[in-house]
Amino acid sequence: MADARRRRWFDAAAVHAGHGPASSDAGRHGRGAGAVGGDRAHRLLVLGDDDTPGGGGSYRAARAAVDVALTAADLLLAGDAAVYGLARPPGHHCPRSAFGGYGLFNYSAAASAYLADRVGRVAVLDVDYHHGNGTQQIFYHRADVLYVSLHADPDRAFPYFIGWADENGAGPGEGFTLNLPLPAGCTNDHYLATLETAVKRIAEHNAAALVVSLGLDTYGQDPIADFALSTDVYHEVGRRVAGLGLPTLVLQEGGYFVPKLGANARTWLRGLLGSPLDLHATPS
C-alpha cells in the first residue's frame, strides 16, 4: 500500500495545542449538557466517564498516539497525499481538560490544530459510529477548522449529551460544525447519501488538508453499535473522500468487531488510494 514509518517524539506543547487551555465552559456545547444541569454536567465532563480505565502504561500509550498523529501530519506537510496513523487509545471523545470514551488525549484534534497552524483551513470528517464530542468542543468556536460528523443519534448512543443536528458552532465558529445523526440500522445507501452532504460541506470549506477520524464501529457486526454497513461500502466511502482531492490524514478511532477490523480498514484505505475493491487483499 505505502511505506510504514515510525513515529517521532513531540513535546507536551503539541498535545496542549490540540486540547487548548483549560476552559470553564468545557463541553457546554451540547443540548444535553444544559439539560443535566450545570454542576452535574461539569463534573461529568471533567472526570470523563467510567468507560475509560487507566493503567501503568496508559499515559505513555496515549502520548505515543499523539506522536503518531503528529508524525503523520508532518508526512502530509512534507508532501504525502494520504497518511494513515494507527494508534491506541482513540481520542475523539476527549474535550479540553478531560478524558473519556476510552481515550485520554484527542490526537485527531492535536493533529488538526497542528495542521491548521501550518496550512490554514482544515476540515475534520469524523466517520466513527459515535459522535466526536471532544473534537467538536475543541473547535466549536473556530472557523478555520470545520468539523463534520456522521454518527449515531445521541438520543440513543454515546456520548448522549452532544451531537445533535442543531449544534452548528458558535461565535466565529458558527456554521463550522455539521452534525449528521443517523438512525439505528443505518444502511449502506442511507450512509452514502448522508456522506454526500458531508463531502459537499467539506468541499465548500476550501481546506488545505483533511483529517479523517476513522471509526469502524459503523460495521454491521460491531458489538457495541447498531448500523448495518458492510465491508464493501468502506471502499466507496474512501473513494468519495478521495474525490475531495485534499491531502488526507486518516487517524484510527473506534471499531470493535475484531475479526473484520483489518479488512474494513484496508478496504477503506484502498478506496482512498484508488486501489480496486478487493475484499481478500492482504497488506503490502
Nearest CA-CA partner of 250 in 64, 6, 129, 80: 80
Q: How far is the CB of 253 from Zn ion (least distance, A)?
A: 6
Strands 145-152 and 209-214: unpaired
Residue among 27, 91, 215, 247 that touches Zn ion (CB under 5 A): 215
**Who's near 138: CB < 8 A, 6+ residues apart?**
18, 19, 20, 95, 96, 106, 109, 113
CA 82 to chain CA mean position, Å: 16
- Pick between residue 67 and residue 128 the one whose CB is nearest to Zn ion: 128
> Residue 272 and residue 166: Cα distance in Å, rounded?
30
User: Is 217 one of the binding residues for Zn ion (CB under 5 A)?
Assistant: yes
Integer angstrom CA distances of residue 111 from 22, 224, 273: 19, 27, 21
User: Is 129 one of the binding residues for Zn ion (CB under 5 A)?
Assistant: yes
- Pick between residue 112 and residue 218 the one whose CB is nearest to Zn ion: 218
Nearest CA-CA partner of 38 in 47, 48, 26, 50: 26
**Who's near 278: CB < 8 A, 6+ residues apart?**
270
User: Is 254 one of the binding residues for Zn ion (CB under 5 A)?
Assistant: yes
Strand partners, 248: 82, 210
Q: How far is the CB of 144 from Zn ion (least distance, A)?
A: 26
Q: How far is the CB of 134 from Zn ion (least distance, A)?
A: 12
Q: How far is the CB of 128 from Zn ion (least distance, A)?
A: 4
The CA-CA-CA angle for residues 93, 88, 108, to 5°, reads 50
Residue among 74, 126, 128, 144 that touches Zn ion (CB under 5 A): 128
> Residue 247 and residue 259: Cα distance in Å, rounded?
30
Q: Choose the binding region for Zn ion from 11-19, 39-47, 130-138, 196-204 (rule: CB under 5 A).
A: 130-138
Q: Choose the binding region for Zn ion from 107-115, 139-147, 203-211, 252-260 (rule: CB under 5 A).
A: 252-260
- Pick between residue 35 and residue 224 the one whose CB is nearest to Zn ion: 224
Window 30 to 59, contacts with Zn ion (CB under 5 A): none
Q: How far is the CB of 43 from Zn ion (least distance, A)?
A: 23
Q: Choose the binding region for Zn ion from 115-123, 162-170, 194-202, 209-217 (rule: CB under 5 A).
A: 209-217
Q: Choose the binding region for Zn ion from 103-111, 127-135, 173-181, 194-202 (rule: CB under 5 A).
A: 127-135
Whether 92 is a known active-site residue: answer: no
Of 29, 42, 92, 93, the catalytic one is 93
**Who's near 114: CB < 8 A, 6+ residues apart?**
14, 17, 18, 70, 73
Q: How far is the CB of 32 from Zn ion (least distance, A)?
A: 18
Window 11 to 30, contacts with Zn ion (CB under 5 A): none
> Residue 39 and residue 128: Cα distance in Å, rounded?
29
- CA diameter of the chain: 52
**How many residues in the shown chain lie near Zn ion by CB under 5 A?**
6
Question: Which residues contribute to the site for Zn ion (CB under 5 A)?
Answer: 128-130, 215, 217, 254
The set of catalytic residues is: 93
